[in-house]
A = this chain, B = another copy of it.
Amino acid sequence: MTDTRWLDEEEQRTWRAFIAFSRLLSEAMERQLSRDEGLPFSYYLILAMLSEAPGRSLTMTELATDVRASPSRLSHAVNKLQANGWVVRSRHPDDRRAIIASLTDDGMAVLEKAAPGHVGEVRRLVFDRLTPAQRESFDDVLTTLLAGLDPDAPVCPDAPVCPNDPEPPAAGVEICAAGAALDAPDDDSGRDAA
């Protein structure tokens, strides 16, 4: 117990900076989305992830994994999103335990409306302030730490988070709305995919 290896002064400074940054940034993101769209960030993330999925659909379990939420949390959240008409649930054809959540057109519209403001905030608060070298170091550190936190993290090893072209142009609004969807007129094919 007393053999704890405490943090030295520099480590402590770094740690405090991280805590502070992490809180302030997430609050800023929440505030922006909440103010402009009345949407919590975690809900935005769900819509974004669905928008990228083939057929804009995923099972609850897949979706929970993607947004890193507990099954319970996701279930409650989808209840809300469904009540808003942004997501619908349907049975899985092969496994009747599973439920498929799909983004509706209304949900997609909400996401497309929210994306620019959200991306603007990310850019303003983060990327516009970093030199290319800093951005690269940042990425390096995050990747390193992430590996230790989540061994099987499919986060961004080589391939991007989302298997984004095994299907017809998935046309999702990415977490930060890479923009693909905003130009893609219609993939509304709906689902064959799912």
A residues in contact (CB < 8 Å) with B: 1-2, 4-7, 9-26, 28, 45, 68, 115-116, 119-120, 122-123, 125-127, 129-130, 134-135, 137-146, 148-150, 153, 155-156, 160-161, 174-179, 182
Contact = CB atoms under 8 A, between A and B. Distances in A.
Contacts of A139: 10, 13-14, 17
Contacts of A150: 20, 24
Max count, chain B CB within 10 A of own CB: residue among A11, A123, A134 = A11
A34 to B, nearest CB: 14
Given A5-B123, A7-B127, A20-B153, 14 more contacts: A4-B116, A6-B178, A7-B178, A9-B160, A12-B175, A12-B178, A14-B138, A17-B139, A17-B155, A19-B45, A20-B150, A24-B146, A25-B149, A137-B137
A122 B174 contact: no
A68 B16 CA distance: 12
A20 B68 contact: yes
Contacts of A10: 135, 139
A130 B180 CA distance: 35
A31 B71 CA distance: 16
25 contacts: A2-B182, A4-B116, A4-B119, A9-B160, A10-B135, A11-B176, A14-B142, A15-B126, A15-B175, A16-B161, A17-B139, A17-B155, A18-B142, A19-B45, A20-B150, A21-B146, A21-B149, A22-B26, A23-B68, A24-B68, A24-B149, A24-B153, A25-B145, A129-B148, A134-B137
